[in-house]
Amino acid sequence: MTLRPVAAAALFALAAALFLAGLARALPPGEWLAALLSPQPDDVSALLVHYTVFPRAATALAAGASLALSGLVLQIALDNPLAEPSTTGVSAGAVLALAVFGSAGLGGASQSLVALGGGLAAAAVTLGLALRGGLRPATVVIAGLVLGFAASAATTLIALFNHEWMRALFLWSSGSLRQNDWSAAARLTPLLALAWIAAGCLARAFTLSSLRDEGAAALGGNPRIIRLTALALAAGLAALTTAEVGAIAFIGLAAPHFARATGARTMADRLLWTPIFGAGLLWLTDEAVKLIPLDLPTGAATGLLGAPLLMALAARLRLPSLAPVPISAPSQRLRPAWGLLLFGCIVALAAALFLDRAADGWSLAAPAQALDWRVPRTIAAFGAGAAIAVAGALLQRMTGNVMASPDMIGVSAGAALGFLVLLYAAPAAGPAAQLAAGALGAGLAALWALKGLKRGGAPEQPLLLGVGLAAAFTGVVSFLLASGDPRMALAVVWLSGSTYLVDGQRALVILAVAAGGLSAALTLARPLALLPLGPAARSSGLRIRQAQALTIALASVLTAAATLVIGPLSFVGLVAPHAARGLGCRSPLSLLAGSALVGGALLAVADWIGRVALFPYEIPAGIVAMLLGGAAALVALMKSP
Same domain, 402 and 269: no
364 phi and psi angles, rounded to 5 deg: -100, 130
**What CATH number should be reported for the domain holding residue 368?**
1.10.3470.10
pTM of the model: 0.74
Query: Helices (H) and strands (E) in the chain — how many of each?
Result: 28, 2
Q: Cβ atoms within 10 A of the Cβ of 375, count?
A: 16
| Other Cβ atoms closer than 10 A to 36 | 14
Q: φ, ψ for residue 524 (rounded to 5)?
A: -95, 15
Q: Are residues 606 and 513 in the same domain?
A: yes
3-state helix, strand, coil in the chain (%, to 5): 75, 0, 20
- Kindly provide the b/e burial profile for residues 478-499, where b requires at least 16 CB atoms within 10 angstroms of the residue's own CB: bbbbbeeeeebebbbbbbbbbb
Q: Residue 17: which residues within 8 A CB-CB, separation 6 or more?
A: none
Say how far apart CA 400 and CA 328 lie, in whole Å: 11
Residue 261 domain-assigned? yes
In tens, the pLDDT along 311-336 reads 666 655 554 443 334 444 444 445 78
Judgement on whether residues 514 and 475 belong to the same structural domain of the protein: yes
Are residues 620 and 519 part of one domain? yes
More confident: 439 or 4: 4
Band (486; pLDDT cuts 50, 70, 90): low
**Does residue 257 share a domain with residue 115?**
yes
Residue 135 lies in a domain: yes
The secondary structure element, H or E, covering residue 210 is none
pLDDT at 455 over 70: no
In 271-369, beta strands by DSSP E? 355-358, 361-364
Domain membership flag for residue 336: no
Q: 307 and 351: one domain?
A: no
Domains of the chain: total: 2
Which pLDDT score, from 0 to 100, does residue 276 have? 95
422 and 496 fall within a common domain:
yes
- 53-62, 82-91, 249-258, 278-287: lowest mean pLDDT where? 82-91
User: Measured between alpha carbons, how far is residue 5 from residues 11, 204, 253, 267, 273 in Å?
Assistant: 10, 24, 20, 17, 9
In a domain, 329, yes or no: no
Give the range with max mean pLDDT: 282-286, 348-352, 549-553. 282-286
Regarding whether 286 and 373 lie in a shared domain, the answer is no
| Among the listed residues 57, 93, 86, 59, the one whose alpha carbon sits nearest the alpha carbon of residue 70 | 86
Pairing of β 355-358 and β 361-364: antiparallel
Is residue 276 domain-shared with residue 357, that is, in the same domain?
A: no
- Name, in order, each residue with C-beta under 8 angstroms of 625's C-beta and a sequence gap of 6 or more: 385, 497, 569, 571, 572, 602, 603, 606
Mention every residue, 6+ apart, whose C-beta is less than 8 A from residue 635: none
Same domain, 365 and 312: no
- Which residue would you say has higher pLDDT here, 197 or 253? 197
Which residues, in sequence order, are CB contacts of 264 under 8 Å at separation 6+?
4, 270, 272, 273, 274
pLDDT at 40: 87
Residue 435 counted as domain residue: yes
Per-residue pLDDT tens for 525-583? Answer: 888 888 777 666 677 777 877 888 888 888 888 888 888 777 777 678 888 888 888 88
Tell me the residue range of the domain where 630 lies.
Answer: 347-639
Residue count (the chain): 641
Q: How far apart are the first and last CA of the chain?
A: 51
